[in-house]
Structure 1
């Protein structure tokens, strides 16, 4: 379960204040897949990073019961001078999972070939994303934080990624950010709309999708 109380976050940009969280309070029940909707720049990715602990909020609290992934697909934490294989082994030790088992899974899933054994600094952004997604799916979490799961790699890889994501959701929950409203409708149990720093929770996913369409039309 994730419980957010009075969460506040604002940016100062070009002399103006942009509020992305204005005293947000919400509870996400365990095992549910929650879609996070909102206009571009509303702060959806920032909210995921605050839940993950990679971004500090200005105020309020985030209490987590269980294990939560880093934002799936986020490649910013890789050591660029280490290979994909070495980064995988490092994360396996941090999260206490079998090193060789995770290495084999990620090598097969990411489809990097020999690049898996070259430094991450030589990777394209797409290759880093495939490595990051494979690592995220290779470690069991109670809640996955997912930012654009359908945008990784080519069409065949995106299809495989969605299939693996659905498998993980059989026993885990997720906070899911995506512009693909079909994915929201097909995989989410509930949805939220983030607008001008306020978060509104909807048990009816289709109601949230319809309102989002109106907002962004």
Structure 2
């Protein structure tokens, strides 16, 4: 189980503070699959980083009773001057995984070819996302966080990515962010909507998607009226 208790996140600038999330209460049970909806800039990725522990809340507390991946597709933690292989081996050492087994999995899954042994700074965004995806899946986590990565790569890679995510979802917990609600329908049973700094959980992804679309329609009409 993962519990966010009265969590807020504020990014402080020189002249203004930006409160992205405010007083969020959210419980993610083991074995759940939750699709997170929200407009650009609503705070979806911030929510994922808080769940992962990549960032700390400004106020409140995040409690994790299971192991959690970093957001798949979040590749900025890689050292740009090290090769993809060296970054993968470094992650293996951090998590106590076998370096050779992890590297073999990543080499087969990410399909980077010789680029796996080139510095990360030479990678395209899609290549870096595929490396992050492969490294994340090579580690056995209880909960996998997925942030807009299933579109990286060719059709063969997309198919393998989908199969891998279904397998992780069926044996564990999955929290996914996507601008495409159709993707969320394929992977998730329940849904959450991030809007106005709040996070609301719904029993079905269909209900969450409906609320999300209605909120976007209201926002669009208000913008036109202005």
- TM surpasses 0.5: yes
Root mean square deviation of aligned Cα: 1.5
CA contact (8 A) 2:38 2:179 kept: no
CA contact (8 A) 2:168 2:174 kept: no
3-state secondary structure, aligned to 1:170: helix
Structure 1 unaligned residues grouped into runs of 5+: none
13-22 or 122-131, which deviates more: 13-22
Instruction: Tell me, in whole angstroms, the C-alpha distance in 1 between the residues paired with 2:197 and 2:216.
Output: 16
66-75 or 12-21, which deviates more: 12-21
Q: 1:157-168, aligned counterparts within 5 Å?
A: 157-168=157-168
Q: Taking structure 1 as the reference length, what is the TM-score of the superposition?
A: 0.94
CA contact (8 A) 1:37 1:44 kept: yes
Residue in structure 2 matched with residue 94 of structure 1 by the alignment: 94
Q: 1:1-217, aligned counterparts within 5 Å?
A: 1-12=1-12, 15-217=15-217
Q: How many Å apart are 1:138 and its aligned residue?
A: 1.1
CA contact (8 A) 2:10 2:20 kept: yes
CA contact (8 A) 1:31 1:173 kept: yes
Number of aligned residue pairs = 217
3-state secondary structure, aligned to 1:72: coil
Q: Deviations over 1:78-106 (max 9, x none)?
A: 12222111111111111111111111010
3-state secondary structure, aligned to 1:151: coil
Instruction: Tell me, in whole angstroms, the C-alpha distance in 1 between the residues paired with 2:99 and 2:12.
Output: 42
Structure 2 unaligned residues grouped into runs of 5+: 218-226
Q: How many Å apart are 1:15 and its aligned residue?
A: 4.4
Instruction: Tell me, in whole angstroms, the C-alpha distance in 2 between the residues paired with 1:14 and 1:152.
Output: 36
